[in-house]
Structure 1
């Protein structure tokens, strides 16, 4: 597939919109709560100009060397920005996924539905054969999410757990 991605309608109220730099203001605000970063290696964005520039770079939809596809969507619930889902498609047809929602949207199934819709789109359009996610071993919410999507835990390390989901052929 080319480097473009499309809007994904999950249901009547949940839509994944291709992430662009114009989403920087809404995402910058929604990503401020400290509890989002309890299990992540990064912190809330502090410099708006840098954050906006990062989103602009991500609009290329590929790594600088062209080997990876960078796919990012803004999660919109009833027109309100809830967070984002993202995927990196590698040359070996595997795909790493991630998702971040503002805490006010946690526990409602939004991340599960958004991630599932994103994965379906990627399988249909990018020929991915396996998905994986690396999650902090203490992040029970995120572990539950990938397990609901059919991921299985594989050996990794004590700090993070790795989950894999193979895509059924045919």
Structure 2
């Protein structure tokens, strides 16, 4: 669990489905997500089950709780890539910035990754601005990376290298030489 001035970031539970469904049925929130809004609670429950069952060595994700209600999620959905979503009723209040300012150092301290990455739709100026403000820099762009409904979307990719103060540096994993028989 991570606490900030206004938020609690905690592990997801199956009982979080109704609150997350309120996020995943919002067309504005889902506009730049990997798929259109959820049509049913069972879709959200299935998505949530995957989040809960994710291997902790490959994912480190949190639900965002504000005033006792889940308003989104933030974390590494697939290390080293972060992902986040917030209900539109909570946009432009600095809440996602607050969440990510807590999650980023947590991820670096817990996982031996040299950098965190992120992907955004180039039309999502708010997300691009947030990532840039958090120290991410653009690495490249690609066209037609995701089919959202009937529309092909492009992607812009970001990276935020580990810095002093981000936690322990990655420990190299020794590898046996090829053909050593070990």
Normalised by the length of structure 2, the TM-score is 0.78
Runs of 4+ in 1 over 4 A off after TM superposition: none
1:84 matched to 2:77: no
Is contact 2:74-2:99 (8 Å) kept? yes
1:104 matched to 2:98: no
- Pairwise CA distance, 1:146: 0.3
Instruction: Provide the C-alpha distance between the structure 2 equivalents of 1:24 and 1:128, rounded to a whole number of angstroms.
Output: 30
The runs of 5 or more residues in structure 1 that have no matched partner are: 1-6
Secondary structure at the residue paired with 2:59?
Answer: strand
2:142 to 154, 157, 162: 157
Instruction: Provide the C-alpha distance between the structure 1 equivalents of 2:76 and 2:48, rounded to a whole number of angstroms.
Output: 14
Instruction: Provide the C-alpha distance between the structure 2 equivalents of 1:89 and 1:81, rounded to a whole number of angstroms.
Output: 21
Deviations 1:63-85 (A, max 9, x none): 8xxxx512221111121221111
Aligned position for 2:178: none
Is contact 2:20-2:44 (8 Å) kept? no
The runs of 5 or more residues in structure 2 that have no matched partner are: 144-153, 170-182
1:27 matched to 2:20: yes
Aligned position for 1:49: 42
Secondary structure at the residue paired with 2:72?
Answer: strand
What number of residue pairs does the alignment pair up? 155
Structure 1 range deviating more: 158-167 or 49-58: 49-58
1:9 matched to 2:40: no
Is contact 1:21-1:53 (8 Å) kept? no
Instruction: Provide the C-alpha distance between the structure 1 equivalents of 2:135 and 2:50, rounded to a whole number of angstroms.
Output: 32
Which of 1 and 2 has greater Rg?
2
Aligned position for 1:134: 119
Structure 1 residues 136, 89: CA separation in 2 closer, same or farther (over 3 Å shift)?
Answer: closer
2:103 to 87, 111, 118: 118
Is contact 2:25-2:37 (8 Å) kept? yes
Deviations 1:118-157 (A, max 9, x none): 1111111112210111100010000010011001111222
